[in-house]
Amino acid sequence: PAPPLDGLQAIEWGGGLRWYAGEQPAIRGAAARLGGHATLYRAPESLRCLEDAFTPLSPALLALHRRLKKAFDPKGILNPGRLYAEF
């Protein structure tokens, strides 16, 4: 189902991928209520420095991602902070 969001949007992949221009909290909230997620692709630097590009992870998924990052990048040199600030 389509999230109930106003504003500009583009739809790809038969409705499986939607691009929205609008307020980040509203978009992430609508996606989460429908069991999805939202990724921040474009935003002013003032917003990008405050928000992760990807939807925040649950504590269990964050722990799993940390373990994977440590296994594949034990020295933490590959794009630190690129996906999530926590690792």
Answer whether residue 79 is part of any domain: no
Answer whether residue 82 is part of any domain: no
Answer whether residue 77 is part of any domain: no
As a whole number of angstroms, the distance between CA 15 and CA 10 comes to 9
User: In angstroms, what CA-CA distances link 31 with 11, 50, 72?
Assistant: 14, 20, 30
Number of domains the chain contains: 1
What is the percentage of the chain residues whose pLDDT exceeds 90?
22
Answer whether residue 17 is part of any domain: yes
Answer whether residue 87 is part of any domain: no
pLDDT tens readout for residues 18-35: 888 877 788 888 888 888
Which domain range does residue 27 map to?
9-72
DSSP symbol at 74: T
Q: Tokens for 75, please give them.
A: 């020295």
Answer whether residue 3 is part of any domain: no
Answer whether residue 68 is part of any domain: yes
The pTM is what?
Answer: 0.64
For the chain, how many helices (H) and strands (E)? 3, 2
